[in-house]
Amino acid sequence: MCRDEHVIVVGGGNSAASLSTYLLVRITQTTNVEILYHAQVTELKGETVLSEVEISDMRDGSKRLIPTRRLFVCIGGVPNTEWAKDTAIVRDEAGYLVTGPDLLRQGRAPECWPLARTPFFLETSVPGSFAAGDVRHGSVKRVASAVGDGAMAVTFVHRYLEETGLNG
């Protein structure tokens, strides 16, 4: 898809800091790869497609425009779920949202679960609240899986709305 094209890969968070050693070696030994430290994407330019990416140096504020049509983002596997700490949504020790069968302990839902049925597959510990993709405990951490989770979540939302009589 990107052969012979200028490609930018943005890494941050734990993805930039904790790559596997074999990947670090491959990246640093590849002659056509430039690594920019202390850099931040500050602007994307283009009319109908991407044409340039502005990169700012965080140390001195200088800016650099890089012509490209391809930008990939790899920003880490730490879930952004701090908002859930003030809710009844159960999170695991790493902060991922626990859903469906993973909520069950010895076949029982957590004490905060108010319904007689067990949670649907992507349902959090709050009935009618579903999690999809990387934010979910035990997820595969791949885009295709997240898309599948999202599609599946729609089915469970409809099922939840039917059982509650909220489907109109």
Does the pLDDT of residue 101 top 70, yes or no? yes
CA torsion sign for 147, 13, 103, 164 is negative
Confidence at residue 43, expressed as pLDDT on a 0 to 100 scale: 95
141-165: pLDDT as tens digits: 888 888 999 999 999 999 999 998 8
Q: How many residues does the chain have?
A: 168
Q: Which of 22, 24, 2 is nearest to 11 (CA)?
A: 24
Q: Which of 93, 84, 78 is nearest to 124 (CA)?
A: 84
Distance CA 143, CA 93 (A): 23
For 15, list phi and psi in degrees, rounded to 5: -70, -40
Full set of structural domains in the chain with CATH: 7-74 (3.50.50.60), 82-164 (3.50.50.60)
Confidence at residue 132, expressed as pLDDT on a 0 to 100 scale: 94
